[in-house]
Structure 1
């Protein structure tokens, strides 16, 4: 009878953790992505505030 995988329990191995440098790179990429999403709104708000304060 061919192997159909019933009652098969694979070995449970601990996942390999990445190096601390990889975690730092991931955090930097996430922060950069969030900044790139928020920056256009922040710059537009800053320009509007400057125009309002100058009286334009």
Structure 2
């Protein structure tokens, strides 16, 4: 059974890298982010495409 982990802020800098590492380690990652416009929205959407 694979452990499922929820990462909040998954499209942000830290959340993206944590999620990427967890995926590499074999975990199932459920990423949550509200994609607000405080930072460039295109950067956040790009983070989701990269995984």
TM exceeding 0.5: no
Structure that is richer in strand per residue: 2
Give the alignment's TM-score, normalised by structure 2. Answer: 0.29
Higher relative contact order (CA 8 A, sep 6+): 2
Larger Rg: 1
Q: Compare the two structures and name the one with the higher helix fraction.
A: 1
